[in-house]
Amino acid sequence: MASAREMKLRIKSVKNIAQVTRALETVSASKVRKAVNAVTATRSYATKAWQVLKHVAEQPGRDSLHPLLVERKKVRNTLVVVITGDRGLAGAYNSNVIRYASQRFDKNTVPVKYVAIGRKGRDLLYRRRKELLGEFSNLPAAPSFFDVSAIGRLVVDAYKNGEVDEVFLVYTNFINMARQTATVKKLLPLELTDENRVQDFEQHHNGPAAAYDYEPDQSIILDEIIPRFTALQVYQAILESQASEHAARMVAMHAATDNAKDLAGAYQLAYNKVRQQGITNDILDIVGGAEALSAK
Amino acid sequence: MTIRCEIVSQDRTVFAGDVDIVVLPGAGGEMGILPKHAPVLTTLKYGVVKIRKNGKEELFTVAGGVAEVQPDIVTILADAAENVDEIDVARAEAARTRAEEILAKGVPADTDAYLAMEAALRKSNLRLEAVSRYRKGGTRVSTSEH
């Protein structure tokens, strides 16, 4: 068993760690509140925008409507946008996203390029020798749409100029404080569920389909909304991920504080025993010495 | 027979409910939408969306955006939207004065800043105009209420 002095040092360092993790937990708790407010506020708009995009994609002859709606016959390159945090100490938050991405895309038949949002994801992808097309880190907390619109533009441009033929978004969906799950969303080209496909098929075969009237003009309006609503999905995913990151960090730091307390308690107990043993030994020595003297 | 109407701005759902008619400021002019309207996708101008339900009218300012009309639902995705009754006149006025002052001092060199200022000015003007035109009893000063 270690000496009493060594144990005292260890208790002190464990208590220090507990203090730091508790502080981090408190900070995350206040950040998570803001992030959750931000994500829930924009969620309805983003969901509706996505619905409108899907409706547009359901239109007959979608390929001729807008270049971003064209489903290319042959997919030669895939782009994956991976959203992680800039910092660690958030439990399995960052590694979950990367693990999910590599499970999903490592066996991809065509080359995969990555765009990393967040420093941790960048480092992890880099270490796995993935091809990075772009990297965005140090995003502000609760970013505005304009802070991140460059990311959306990069993605849309890469798709438009044929550099990539499909775009996926891998991010963490914020479900509640205790549950966040890594998810993937196909961003471009817009994908319809099978159910919609059947409808589309029937529309084609049951006379005229209910196509939109466009005002002012089909190309003007689609040019305006498709890139913007696509970028909006990236924005929403970033907000979801940020809320998840703070929640994950809060939970992880809470657990760390609890563990440190348990550990400090266990060490304290061991230290007390060592100290008591030492005193008992000292007394035994003294008594033994005194007896030896009086026996003479 | 009603049609579902949802007005969503970038930061909240402003209105959601079943209504009799929706009148919205489309790019090609005012459009009245009744149930079973043909599908339309239109951009919106700065203006006022009117909703009527059981003879009762509700008004919302919208600062641009997009509206999607389906036979059973109208989805209005506005860049900014609010109920005319909720507009804070004092705040809108203050915002207008501030924007006008800044613009009067000279055009900001930064294009983005200029566009943001101009949009803010247009938004404040829209709000104030909507209040003076549509709110019952004319313009009320919000600070004297409640």
Residue of A nearest to B112 (CA): A146
Residue A64's domain is classified under what CATH number? 3.40.1380.10
Residue type, A126: Y
B143-to-B88, B91, B137, B138, B146 alpha-carbon distances in Å:
9, 10, 16, 15, 8
Last residue of a domain, one of B83, B108, B123: B83
Out of A97-111, A143-157, A195-209, B108-122, pick the least confident.
Answer: A195-209
Identify the sign of the CA torsion B121, B8, A83, A68: negative
Measured CA angle at B121 (ends A220, B57), to 5 deg? 75
A251, pLDDT greater than 50: yes
| Mean pLDDT across A118-122 | 91
Note the pLDDT of residue A210.
64
Note the pLDDT of residue B18.
92
Do B79 and B22 fall within a single domain? yes
Q: Is A204 on the interface with B (CB under 8 A)?
A: no
Do B65 and B17 fall within a single domain? yes
Do B23 and B64 fall within a single domain? yes
State whether A41 and B11 contact (CB < 8 Å): yes
- Phi and psi at residue B70, to the nearest 5°: -120, 160
Residue of A nearest to B75 (CA): A48
Note the pLDDT of residue A16.
95
Do B60 and B19 fall within a single domain? yes
Residue contacts between A and B (CB atoms, under 8 Å): 64
A128, pLDDT greater than 50: yes
User: Which parts of chain A fold into alpha helices (H)?
Assistant: 4-58, 93-105, 119-127, 145-160, 194-205, 218-295
Model confidence at B136, pLDDT cuts 50, 70, 90, reads low
**What is the number of domains present in chain A?**
1
Residue of B nearest to A215 (CA): B42
Do B14 and B77 fall within a single domain? yes
Note the pLDDT of residue A176.
87
| Mean pLDDT across A19-39 | 92
A194, pLDDT greater than 50: no
Non-local (6+) Cβ contacts of A58 within 8 A are A192, A196, A199, A200
Do B115 and B76 fall within a single domain? no
Do B21 and B74 fall within a single domain? yes
Note the pLDDT of residue B23.
92
Q: Is A150 on the interface with B (CB under 8 A)?
A: no
B141, pLDDT greater than 70: no
More confident position, B35 or A71: B35
From A44, A210, A211, residue closest to B8, measured CB to CB: A44
- The answer as to whether A30 is a domain residue is no
| Mean pLDDT across A231-257 | 93
A208, pLDDT greater than 70: no
Question: What residues does B49 pair with on adjacent strands?
Answer: B60
- The answer as to whether A10 is a domain residue is no
| Mean pLDDT across A21-33 | 93
Q: Minimal Cα–Cα distance from A41 to chain B, Å?
A: 5
Do B59 and B17 fall within a single domain? yes
- The position carrying tokens 């209040």 is B131
Question: How buried is residue B25: exposed, middle or buried, by Cβ count under 10 Å (0-12/13-18/19+)?
Answer: buried
* HSE-up of residue B27 (Cα within 13 Å, Cβ side): 16
Expressed as residue numbers, the domain containing B102 is: 88-144
Last residue of a domain, one of B62, B83, B104: B83
Interface test with B, best of A213, A223, A229, A232 (most B CBs within 10 A): A213
> How do residues A276-285 score in pLDDT, each as one tens digit?
999 999 999 9
Expressed as residue numbers, the domain containing A232 is: 42-251
State CA A193 to chain mean position distance: 25
- The answer as to whether A3 is a domain residue is no
Q: Is A39 on the interface with B (CB under 8 A)?
A: no
Note the pLDDT of residue A1.
56
Do B77 and B22 fall within a single domain? yes
ipTM of the assembly?
0.72
Model confidence at A192, pLDDT cuts 50, 70, 90, reads low
Do B77 and B136 fall within a single domain? no
Question: What residues does B66 pair with on adjacent strands?
Answer: B43, B77
State whether B43 and A216 contact (CB < 8 Å): yes
Do B29 and B65 fall within a single domain? yes
Note the pLDDT of residue A206.
36
| Mean pLDDT across A160-170 | 90
- The answer as to whether A27 is a domain residue is no
- The answer as to whether A226 is a domain residue is yes
**What is the number of domains present in chain B?**
2
State CA A223 to chain mean position distance: 30
Note the pLDDT of residue A197.
45
Model confidence at A84, pLDDT cuts 50, 70, 90, reads very high
Non-local (6+) Cβ contacts of A156 within 8 A are A68, A188, A227, A230, A231
Q: Which of residues 93-122 of B touch A (CB under 8 A)?
A: none
A257, pLDDT greater than 70: yes
Considering chain A, what percentage of its residues have pLDDT values greater than 70? 93
Q: Is A63 on the interface with B (CB under 8 A)?
A: no
State whether A215 and B12 contact (CB < 8 Å): no
- What region does B36 belong to: left with phi over 0, alpha with psi -120 to 50, or beta? left
- The answer as to whether A96 is a domain residue is yes
Residue B11's domain is classified under what CATH number? 2.60.15.10
B112, pLDDT greater than 90: no
Interface test with B, best of A212, A230, A232, A233 (most B CBs within 10 A): A212
Q: Minimal Cα–Cα distance from A184 to chain B, Å?
A: 23
A168, pLDDT greater than 80: yes
A186-to-A39, A82, A111, A189, B23 alpha-carbon distances in Å:
20, 12, 16, 7, 35
State whether B12 and A41 contact (CB < 8 Å): yes
A145 close to A156: Cβ distance less than 8 angstroms: no
Non-local (6+) Cβ contacts of A111 within 8 A are A76, A77, A78, A131
A193, pLDDT greater than 70: no
A288, pLDDT greater than 80: yes
State whether B68 and A224 contact (CB < 8 Å): no
Model confidence at A81, pLDDT cuts 50, 70, 90, reads very high
CB contacts, 8 Å: B31 with chain A = 215
Nearest to B125 by CA among B31, B61, B49: B61
- The answer as to whether A296 is a domain residue is no
More confident position, B48 or A211: B48
Do B72 and B139 fall within a single domain? no
State whether A225 and B13 contact (CB < 8 Å): no
- The answer as to whether A18 is a domain residue is no
Q: Which of residues 14-73 of B touch A (CB under 8 A)?
A: 26-28, 31, 38-43, 66, 68, 70-71
Nearest to A227 by CA among A150, A163, A116: A150
Q: State which of A286-290, A291-295, B119-123, B131-135 shows the largest mean pLDDT.
A: A286-290
- Phi and psi at residue A201, to the nearest 5°: -60, -45
A140 close to A147: Cβ distance less than 8 angstroms: yes
Out of A34-38, A39-43, A195-199, pick the least confident.
Answer: A195-199
Residue type, A180: Q
B138, pLDDT greater than 70: no
